[in-house]
Amino acid sequence: MIKKYTGIKFPPLTPKEIEEKYKETQSEMAEVLEWKKEEEARFKSKNSKPQAKSAAKRALVRVQRRIDTVNGNILYWKLRNEGKSHFYAGLERSEYWDKLKGGDSEEKSKEED
């Protein structure tokens, strides 16, 4: 059975929808930064038990990864808001994430020296 091209599955986003997505992503960043403050407070608290401190330390790694993800999404929606195409904005976001991955490995190699 041969399938024929049926066209675009979803209609393109309107400028209003793109603006809403951009604002949602910015509010998500505020939530992530609040999470980071909570984990830092738990890590630095003198009343915290060692298990809680180590859990907070592990959570800070996840928080940083989430911050990087949200920053990439903010970059994507900012470019889309400026009128760039989905493909261009997606490439920029991917390059940003690749740069972060590459920067982490360079920092680790410097620490080993």
The residue extents of the domains of the chain are 16-102
CA 32 to chain centroid: 10
Residue 7 token pair: 């066209």
* pLDDT for the residue 107: 52
* pLDDT for the residue 113: 45
Which pTM does this prediction carry? Answer: 0.78
* pLDDT for the residue 104: 59
In this prediction, the residues of the chain whose per-residue pLDDT falls under 70 are 104-113
* pLDDT for the residue 7: 82
Contacts of 90 (CB under 8 A, 6+ apart): 76
Q: What is the pLDDT of residues 71-90, one digit of tens each?
A: 999 999 999 999 999 999 99
* pLDDT for the residue 11: 86
Measure the CA–CA gap between 18 and 80, rounded to whole angstroms: 7
